[in-house]
Amino acid sequence: MTYQAPVDDIMHALKTAAGLDGLIAGGVLEGVDEDTIRAVIAEAGKFGAEVLEPLDTIGDRTGSRLVDGKVVTPPGWKEAYARYVAGGWNGLGAPEAWGGQHLPQVVATAAAEIWDSANLAFGLCPLLTHGAIDALEAQGSEALKRTYLPKMVSGEWTGTMNLTEPHAGSDLGALRTRAERQPDGTYRIFGTKIFITYGDHEMTDNIIHLVLARLPDAPPGTRGISLFLVPKVLVDPDGSLGARNDVTCAGLEHKLGIHASPTCVMKYGEKDGAVGYLVGEENRGLNVMFIMMNAARLAVGVQGVALAERATQRAMAYARERRQGRTAATRAGEMAPIVEHADIRRSLMTMKALTQAARAICLVTARETDIARRAKDPAERAAAANRVALLTPVAKAFSTDIGCEVATIGVQVHGGMGFIEETGAAQIYRDARILPIYEGTNGIQALDLVTRKLPLEGGKVAAAYIAELMRTMEEVRASNRPEFGRMGERLGEAVAALAEASRWLGSALQQSPEAAMAGATPYLRLFGLAAGGVYLARGALAAARDDAAGAAAQPIAVARFFAENLATAAGGLKDAVVGGADSALMLAPEALSA
Ligand SMILES: Cc1cc2nc3c(=O)[nH]c(=O)nc-3n(C[C@H](O)[C@H](O)[C@H](O)COP(=O)(O)OP(=O)(O)OC[C@H]3O[C@@H](n4cnc5c(N)ncnc54)[C@H](O)[C@@H]3O)c2cc1C
């Protein structure tokens, strides 16, 4: 089943959850109007469906390979990448000063969803380049920006992110890669990085690695980490490519999914040391890397939405074709398409509702990013930056968790054929499994939400956000529409549960931090359900205002289903947060180690 970009659904989420009209009217989008946004998304949809999607299965089956020390991507990959660059897609959201189109983040985010749905393993390459662009733009010296940004923005060169080492994954303070100062102001880098996505490939002439390393006199832990730009090929003063740098790909991982995305073991400084250039200040590299990681975390959340969308499209198509059993409406001697069975309908509604809720959360996070970057009023920019900080772990973890859940429901809807590779449902399931792991595991995202984001501004950032969710609930209740069923009541309960769990965590963090941390994962889920449910309700309110939509309009059905069937888990999650820590921590670590 070929992929079709959900342009209408994306526009609906942009308009209702992300408040596109207000952004345009307020001048935040700097003259970009709705028609332009729709046209870009539709065009991205065509490129995704026509160029990227046909390579998705080939990429999965062939994978990237290491041949004579060089990574070779699957057939068609290099050509598709060249078309992606020629189409100007890489610089969609990048600054004009470096050759980008400076389109709003909401547009770049919507386009990224499309690349990732069409071909997740392909989309990962630009995802990392974009993160590297953000970090360089924010903290690179003028000379580094001039040399590297134009080619990274155009896509002529790609970027990578080098954090992980064998003994330093979630705990980056443990990393050992060494950097030595040189008399000419450059540095030499020595060490091994693992799991580096697109660490090598033949699609571009150069690859720009952003590498975390430690100077000899650096303080221990995370305060002693610096960030270096290490090009695969050194760039001469006139901008032309010079000698090969001392960096190689020593191996490729064999993985459960995303086979076409090369996951590389990178060796720096096997000879004289890889030449590196400092980005930002010495020992403050983690702060710069966080710029890249925050952008990448939202982008990984979008990958979750993308695979959920793809799984849903496949499952809906299969459910229309596959015939089994009968319903009351089935004619004698025939079998019913499985889409007519109540249990399959529930499965498909679950897939749709989770996907749309996660999309809304990601697009709202992108919207706040636009305000944080572009609003004229500094206070408005600061408030939006706090909102981005609060929502980023939710966008990453909730969306990637539901990406896996929706993918597994997708396999189930296919029955036995879901387990067989031909239908493609299995690939989505395999590809999705990495999403809750990389870019900071979802457990780490939950801890970030509880220990760093909830306490922002003494808890005021979260409190203001929850109050805003509550106001939408009041609108839903006040609308009094029979087709909304118990949507207002159920979502009101979910938001109240979020408020109660937030309050409890606020004091638990002071009195018993371990109990607070034990509740972090259920809390993040509760946050995602409440926020996602409210955003869908905003879509339902808008549909209800549109007389032509009628009671059976999809946004109303999806929002009501979410509220009455999925958001109902909120109360249980709240109980797990406020009352579940003791039993979660009842068995000592030794008892769990046998
Ligand atoms: C396909 C793939 C691509 C990747 N791409 C890149 C890349 O491009 N660049 C890069 O630098 N890295 C990359 N990674 C690495 C990835 O980001 C890490 O695997 C991830 O951050 C987790 O680190 P880890 O594997 O060491 O797991 P660990 O840190 O060992 O974690 C194991 C488990 O313990 C939990 N845990 C760890 N610490 C804590 C804590 N303090 N409190 C509570 N729970 C904790 C984790 O949540 C996890 O469930 C990639 C990995 C893969 C598999």
Write the pLDDT tens digit of every residue in 10-21: 999 999 999 999
Neighbours of 188 (CB within 10 A): 20
Indicate if ligand 1 lies below 6 Å from the C-beta of 262: no
Enclosing H/E stretch for 533: helix 520-545
DSSP 8-state secondary structure symbol assigned to residue 245: P
C-alpha distance from residue 363 to each of 17, 355, 382 (Å): 8, 12, 19
Q: What is the pLDDT of residue 449?
A: 98
- Ligand 1 centroid to Cα of residue 175, in Å, is 13
Query: 3-state SS string over 63-110?
Result: CCEEECCEEECCCCHHHHHHHHHHCCCCCCCCCHHHCCCCCCHHHHHH
Residues 537 and 492 sit within 8 Å (Cβ to Cβ): no
DSSP string, 122-142: HHHHHHHHHHHHHHHHHH--H
Alpha-carbon distance 594 to 590, whole Å? Answer: 7
Looking at every residue in the chain, the average pLDDT score rounds to 96
Residue 295 pLDDT more than 90?
A: no
Q: What letter represents residue 165's amino acid?
A: E
Q: What is the pLDDT of residue 552?
A: 61
Alpha-carbon distance 207 to 123, whole Å? Answer: 16
Q: How confident is the model at residue 289 (pLDDT cuts 50, 70, 90)?
A: confident
Three-state DSSP class for 196?
strand
Q: What is the pLDDT of residue 267?
A: 98
Indicate if ligand 1 lies below 6 Å from the C-beta of 257: no
- Ligand 1 centroid to Cα of residue 442, in Å, is 9
Indicate if ligand 1 lies below 6 Å from the C-beta of 524: no
How large a percentage of the chain has pLDDT more than 90? 94
Q: What is the pLDDT of residue 480?
A: 85
Tokens of 59: 């990429």
Alpha-carbon distance 361 to 367, whole Å? Answer: 10
HSE, CB side, 13 Å, CA atoms: give it for residue 472: 27
Which tens digit of pLDDT belongs to each residue from 34-49? Answer: 999 999 999 999 999 9
- Ligand 1 centroid to Cα of residue 486, in Å, is 41
Q: What is the pLDDT of residue 553?
A: 85
Radius of gyration of the chain (CA): 24
Pairing of strands 206-213, 226-231: antiparallel
CB neighbour class for 238 (10 Å; exposed up to 12, middle 13-18, buried from 19): exposed
**Residue identifier of the C-alpha nearest atom 47 of ligand 1:** 443
* Among 286, 292, 273, residue whose Cα is nearest residue 174: 286
Q: What is the pLDDT of residue 594?
A: 66
Which tens digit of pLDDT belongs to each residue from 314-342? Answer: 999 999 999 999 999 999 999 999 999 99
Indicate if ligand 1 lies below 6 Å from the C-beta of 440: yes
* Stated length of the chain: 594
Section 279-293 average pLDDT: 89
Q: What is the pLDDT of residue 550?
A: 63
Section 396-417 average pLDDT: 98
- Ligand 1 centroid to Cα of residue 164, in Å, is 8
Which tens digit of pLDDT belongs to each residue from 159-201? Answer: 999 999 999 999 998 999 999 999 999 999 999 999 999 999 9
Residues 297 and 132 sit within 8 Å (Cβ to Cβ): no
Q: What is the pLDDT of residue 545?
A: 87
Residue 549 pLDDT more than 60?
A: no
Which tens digit of pLDDT belongs to each residue from 50-74? Answer: 999 999 999 999 999 999 999 999 9
Which tens digit of pLDDT belongs to each residue from 76-119? Answer: 999 999 999 999 999 999 999 999 999 999 999 999 999 999 99
Section 514-539 average pLDDT: 97
Q: What is the pLDDT of residue 546?
A: 81
Q: What is the pLDDT of residue 290?
A: 82
Which tens digit of pLDDT belongs to each residue from 193-223? Answer: 999 999 999 999 999 999 999 999 999 999 9
Query: 3-state SS string over 306-331?
Result: HHHHHHHHHHHHHHHHCECCCCCCCC
Alpha-carbon distance 511 to 321, whole Å? Answer: 57
Alpha-carbon distance 228 to 238, whole Å? Answer: 21
Helices (H) then strands (E): counts for the chain: 21, 12
Indicate if ligand 1 lies below 6 Å from the C-beta of 170: yes
Q: What is the pTM assigned to this prediction? A: 0.97
Indicate if ligand 1 lies below 6 Å from the C-beta of 264: no
Q: How confident is the model at residue 551 (pLDDT cuts 50, 70, 90)?
A: low
Q: What is the pLDDT of residue 466?
A: 98
Pairing of strands 206-213, 157-162: parallel
Residue 249 pLDDT more than 60?
A: yes
Residue 371 pLDDT more than 60?
A: yes
- Ligand 1 centroid to Cα of residue 163, in Å, is 10
Tokens of 23: 């952004």
Residues 109 and 302 sit within 8 Å (Cβ to Cβ): yes
Section 384-406 average pLDDT: 98
Contacts of residues 544-548 at CB distance under 8 Å and 24 or more positions apart, as own/partner, are 544/479, 544/481, 544/483, 544/484
Residue 593 pLDDT more than 60?
A: yes
Alpha-carbon distance 464 to 466, whole Å? Answer: 6
**Residue identifier of the C-alpha nearest atom 11 of ligand 1:** 163
Return the minimum-mean-pLDDT range out of 4-8, 147-151, 518-522, 581-585.
581-585
**Residue identifier of the C-alpha nearest atom 21 of ligand 1:** 440
Neighbours of 55 (CB within 10 A): 22
Section 19-38 average pLDDT: 95
Three-state DSSP class for 249?
strand
Section 512-538 average pLDDT: 97
Tokens of 420: 């067989």
Residues 108 and 71 sit within 8 Å (Cβ to Cβ): no
- Catalytic sites, residue numbers: 439
Tokens of 507: 């004091």
Indicate if ligand 1 lies below 6 Å from the C-beta of 197: yes
- At 21, give phi and psi (nearest 5°): -60, -40
**Cα 61-127-10 angle, rounded to 5 deg:** 95
